[in-house]
A and B are shown apart, each in its own frame.
Chain A
Amino acid sequence: GESVGLHLPTLSVQEGDNSIINCAYSNSASDYFIWYKQESGKGPQFIIDIRSNMDKRQGQRVTVLLNKTVKHLSLQIAATQPGDSAVYFCAENIYSGAGSYQLTFGKGTKLSVIP
């Protein structure tokens, strides 16, 4: 797969347990953050986002926490299922000038769910 050669942090969890994936971001001026899920052979899929004026946001089985003090994001997945196995990326939307924003991605974390 495309991750060959890219040594990703790996998280293995038992099916039904909760997963926590962490991410550090770089730009203290970033005001919008997104978590993406990428399955093998597919593009990044939007999971959940959060603005910098929030510190927590919940979706269906997922929660994102934002700690601006230490520039840290986490993604919590409740009751992890085999279908959650994928690589998870955090991304920050950074202003690049001329009215344009671009996503800056983290390295990604590979989540493996053990049935």
Chain B
Amino acid sequence: EAGVTQFPSHSVIEKGQTVTLRCDPISGHDNLYWYRRVMGKEIKFLLHFVKESKQDESGMPNNRFLAERTGGTYSTLKVQPAELEDSGVYFCASSQLLLGYSTDTQYFGPGTRLTVL
């Protein structure tokens, strides 16, 4: 079974440009999460999709970040315009069990390293 995949693995952009990150969850996983780790900080939650719906976006830092999951399969995270402080590693995770269960294990992708110059 394929794991969570993310594309690209690394992106280097100029401040003010736009970048779109993609995540393909494990097949059949309805829950999809985005996390990020910026320099010197812990891994932090960004948002949670259940199928195509945003269940919790409390961790999104500001309106420069837009996440979508059309069709409930893969997800994209767009940063527009990118700022220097957006540099970090963006992780996607997916899980299988039904909403509301605290014990659904989240499986992570390899991450996308974003560098904003």
Contact = CB atoms under 8 A, between A and B. Distances in A.
Contacts of B89: 2
Given A43-B91, A97-B56, A100-B56, A34 B41 contact: no
A110 to B, nearest CB: 14
Interface of A: 2, 4-7, 31-32, 34, 36, 41-46, 49, 51, 89, 93, 95-108
B103 A105 contact: no
Nearest to B6: A43
Nearest to B110: A43
Chain B CB within 10 Å, residue with most, of A96, A99, A101, A104: A101
B29 interface: no
A28 B8 CA distance: 38
Interface residues of B, number: 36
6 tightest Cβ-Cβ pairs between the two chains A and B? A43-B108, A100-B56, A102-B45, A105-B43, A100-B55, A44-B108
A42 B107 CA distance: 12
A6 B48 contact: no
Interface string B49-84: 010000110110000000000000000000000000
Interface string B19-31: 0000000000000
A16 to B, nearest CB: 29
